[in-house]
Amino acid sequence: MPQYALELCDLSRHFQLKNGVFSAPTTLKAVDGVSLRIPPGETLGLVGESGCGKSTLAKMILGLLPPTDGSVLVNDQVISNGNRFALAKQLQPIFQDPYSSLNPRKTIRQIISLPLQLHKVGDKRSQQASVKQMSDLVGLPERLLDQYPGQLSGGQRQRVAIARALILKPSILVCDEPTSALDVSVQAQILNLLMDLKQELGLTYLFISHNLGVVEHLVDRVAVMYRGKLVEQGTREDIFRNAQHPYTQALLSSVLTPEPSLGLPELLDDSAWANAS
Ligand SMILES: Nc1ncnc2c1ncn2[C@@H]1O[C@H](COP(=O)(O)OP(=O)(O)OP(=O)(O)O)[C@@H](O)[C@H]1O
């Protein structure tokens, strides 16, 4: 067993922004020196407000965006652009939007079996058996397999995305806001499914969310991101009961704030930042 399912070492992604024809470009540090480790079987929640760099971090882990600096290790192996194909057997994404992540012109059966075809796993017959087994596992009725994504509900589409992600039997899932595009009533079903699958298949999760309520119920550890940096990491209990960093405290109190107009900037006290590490 690897020591770490996922390890990020001083990972950065900077973007050069052009501010007009005559002015010099400025650098946006979307992700800036992030280091974290997830042992096999653990669920790490990565939280932070919109724009703090969560998706940029996920794209680098998935090999979709090259880092400016630093490295990503999956099951103790360094990932580079050259081995993205091999990476798919170890690590798979589940994205926010099950509407745009499924090809509308393919049947559900074709969508779920495509990774097996691309990776030449088994013959046609065994591939179809795997599709059936995987759709049972994610609670997708067999009658839906010959339909198209447009004929399915949001929750059913996300089950398809999960089946497709699991068909190559990866050990790690990177879930980027996997329920935020779904109706509230369906969100809990999908979250429960992800947790059941974790138990059954012994998966490791990086669970990215701006929703602390979701994270609190799912994760073993939490990493808090603010403006491209990790400001605090700890166990779920550490973070939810005894947060040390003022940003984490502000993020937690913003969930509970009785006054919705009071956003994070108001809750953050600049003087507290001066003393924070
Ligand atoms: N290709 C790009 N070019 C320039 N800037 C970018 C690019 N991609 C992301 N950014 C910027 O990097 C910052 C982080 O974006 P990112 O999408 O990672 O945030 P996020 O935390 O995932 O937000 P959200 O929760 O809203 O998706 C933002 O300021 C964004 O505008």
Query: 190: domain CATH number?
Result: 3.40.50.300
Total of domains in the chain: 2
Question: Do 209 and 74 reside in the same domain of the chain?
Answer: yes
Q: Tell me, yes or no, whether 262 lies in a domain.
A: no
Question: Do 6 and 138 reside in the same domain of the chain?
Answer: no
What is the C-alpha separation between 175 and 206, in angstroms, rounded?
A: 6
What pLDDT, on a 0 to 100 scale, did the predictor assign at position 270? 43
Q: Tell me, yes or no, whether 274 lies in a domain.
A: no
Question: Do 83 and 109 reside in the same domain of the chain?
Answer: no
What pLDDT, on a 0 to 100 scale, did the predictor assign at position 162? 96
What pLDDT, on a 0 to 100 scale, did the predictor assign at position 263? 43
Where is the domain boundary, 169, 202, 226? Answer: 169
Question: Do 179 and 137 reside in the same domain of the chain?
Answer: no
Query: Amino acid identity, residue 141?
Result: P
What is the C-alpha separation between 146 and 9, in angstroms, rounded?
A: 43
β-bridge pairing 77-78 and 26-38 = unpaired
Q: Tell me, yes or no, whether 269 lies in a domain.
A: no
Please name which of 159, 223, 245 lies closest in space to residue 197, comparing C-alpha atoms.
159
Q: 186 C-alpha to center of ligand 1: Å?
A: 27
Q: Tell me, yes or no, whether 79 lies in a domain.
A: yes
Q: Tell me, yes or no, whether 115 lies in a domain.
A: yes
Question: Do 74 and 2 reside in the same domain of the chain?
Answer: yes
What pLDDT, on a 0 to 100 scale, did the predictor assign at position 47? 95
Q: Tell me, yes or no, whether 275 lies in a domain.
A: no
Question: Do 61 and 196 reside in the same domain of the chain?
Answer: yes
Q: 96 C-alpha to center of ligand 1: Å?
A: 15
Question: Do 154 and 182 reside in the same domain of the chain?
Answer: no
What pLDDT, on a 0 to 100 scale, did the predictor assign at position 18? 81
The SS3 assignment for 246 reads helix
What is the C-alpha separation between 171 and 13, in angstroms, rounded?
A: 26
**Residue of 13, 15, 17 to test ligand 1 pocket, by largest number of atoms within 8 Å of CB:** 15
Helix (H) or strand (E) holding 204: strand 204-209
Owner of token pair 């559900």? 108
ipTM of this predicted structure: 0.95
Q: Tell me, yes or no, whether 252 lies in a domain.
A: no
Question: Do 64 and 179 reside in the same domain of the chain?
Answer: yes
Q: Tell me, yes or no, whether 80 lies in a domain.
A: yes
Q: 1 C-alpha to center of ligand 1: Å?
A: 34
The dihedral built from the CA positions of residue 145, 200, 97 and 81, taken in this order, carries a sign that is negative
Distance of CA 197 to CAs 36, 37, 41, 74, Å?
A: 24, 22, 11, 20
The 8 Å CB, 24+ separation contacts for 24-29 are 29/227, 29/228
- pLDDT tens track, the chain, 277 positions: 899 999 999 999 999 988 777 778 889 999 999 999 999 999 999 999 989 999 999 999 998 899 999 999 999 999 876 677 888 899 999 988 777 889 999 999 999 999 999 999 999 999 999 999 999 999 999 999 999 999 999 999 999 999 999 999 999 999 998 888 888 888 989 999 999 999 999 999 999 998 887 888 889 999 999 999 999 999 999 999 999 999 999 888 876 544 444 444 444 444 444 444 3
Q: Residue 59 CA: which ligand 1 atom is closest?
A: 18
Helix (H) or strand (E) holding 72: strand 69-74
Question: Do 5 and 136 reside in the same domain of the chain?
Answer: no
Q: Are 223 and 54 in contact (CB under 8 A)?
A: no
Q: Are 193 and 159 in contact (CB under 8 A)?
A: yes
> Which residues, in sequence order, are CB contacts of 267 under 8 Å at separation 6+?
250, 253, 254, 257
Structure tokens at 59: 């794209």
Boundaries of domain holding 152: 92-169
